A and B are shown apart, each in its own frame.
Chain A
């Protein structure tokens, strides 16, 4: 992995700190592994490991009621678990920042990941979430910065879809080694 590619989690982490994010909700994920480790090591962040992604929507809503900003880290399959709860985000106009690592997209080896991965942008769009796509490692931190501004400055639900090209998982062996 080149320097730039391995650096995107750190650059993203810095953006989250600059954006005054206080809570991180996540489901363990190979693509987000490094960013999750950075968040867990930061004592000023409250990290919450979730049993399913939908819980993160409630977590972020409750935190905003209490005056705190949240980022949710999940895989594209987890977006499907959030759909009904995203209705609350839209109706209540909760700010929401979701960072989504894509599966079922660029060079997927697992056919079961493909339907949800392919539907992810449409599903988010249908629920009123503004989608930012990061196709390369260099795109990730600027896309997160833009999405964070839209979420917390513009009171919107915003997602960054981090391409499978960036994550680079092409086999079960690679996934296990992440």
Chain B
């Protein structure tokens, strides 16, 4: 098989024993992957605003410098916000990691190929933009180092994980945006967040 890694196993490996990790999940399959690993108030799953996941991660990382922030998103979503790699690379938040689960397809619209299927290397792009790490992972043997980089290496960390093309059962998070926002803030900031 060209890309043997399976996306749900990768995401589960990253989110296992997640500690106080804050997560932003890009719309579509990566949001379902995160939910399959366990719905969590400290994950903000997106249902729209394609191309904005990494920037939400940057805003969160700057607002919460003592917490580790992980953006998990797809290759199509990342390609739509490629400029944000430059913005993050310039700002260099030490507590931010961006992981692209790259199946080289637009999974929600019929599995059409993305630019990464034609050789666009997002990890190199991130390095060229000033990320402190730009990792490409293709095999299970690389997952332990990936997990370590995501949870502990000085950021901004970028990783592109090549995964198999597969149709998986939908595991959906709540849809209502206001609910997702408020439950995240309450879990992170406590009930006083409601009074801000």
Contact B87 A62 (CB under 8 A): no
Does B38 lie at the interface of the complex (its beta carbon under 8 Å from any beta carbon of A)?
A: no
Contact A62 B63 (CB under 8 A): yes
Contact B52 A67 (CB under 8 A): no
Name, among B83, B181, B184, the residue most crowded by chain A CB atoms within 10 Å (CB to CB). Answer: B181
Contact A62 B57 (CB under 8 A): yes
| In the complex, chain B residues whose CB is within 8 Å of the CB of A46 | 62
The segment from A2-10, A88-96, A135-143 found at the interface with B is A88-96
Contact A55 B84 (CB under 8 A): yes
How many A-B residue pairs lie within 8 Å, measured between CB atoms? 125
Does A60 lie at the interface of the complex (its beta carbon under 8 Å from any beta carbon of B)?
A: yes
Does A129 lie at the interface of the complex (its beta carbon under 8 Å from any beta carbon of B)?
A: no
| In the complex, chain B residues whose CB is within 8 Å of the CB of A70 | 59
The answer to whether A88 and B178 touch (CB under 8 A), given A22-B63, A66-B64, is: no
C-alpha spacing A175/B49, complex, angstroms: 33
C-alpha spacing A64/B58, complex, angstroms: 11
**Residues A44-73 near B (CB distance < 8 A):** 46, 48-52, 54-68, 70
**Interface range for B:** 35 or more
Contact A68 B55 (CB under 8 A): no
Render A119-147 as a binary contact track against B, CB cut-off 8 A, 1 for contact.
00000000000000000000000000000
C-alpha spacing A102/B193, complex, angstroms: 35
| In the complex, chain A residues whose CB is within 8 Å of the CB of B60 | 62-63, 65-66
C-alpha spacing A46/B95, complex, angstroms: 15
The answer to whether A49 and B90 touch (CB under 8 A), given A58-B53, A87-B48, is: yes
Does B20 lie at the interface of the complex (its beta carbon under 8 Å from any beta carbon of A)?
A: no
Contact B177 A23 (CB under 8 A): no
**Interface range for A:** 20 to 34
| In the complex, chain A residues whose CB is within 8 Å of the CB of B62 | 23, 46, 48, 59, 62-63, 66, 68
Contact A84 B50 (CB under 8 A): yes
The answer to whether A92 and B59 touch (CB under 8 A), given A51-B83, A58-B49, A84-B49, is: no
Does B51 lie at the interface of the complex (its beta carbon under 8 Å from any beta carbon of A)?
A: yes
Contact A55 B48 (CB under 8 A): no
C-alpha spacing A23/B61, complex, angstroms: 12
The answer to whether A67 and B55 touch (CB under 8 A), given A58-B84, A62-B63, A93-B177, is: no
Contact B59 A66 (CB under 8 A): yes
Please give the residue numbers on chain A whose beta carbons come within 8 Å of chain B beta carbons, in ascending order.
22-23, 46, 48-52, 54-68, 70, 84-85, 87-88, 91-94
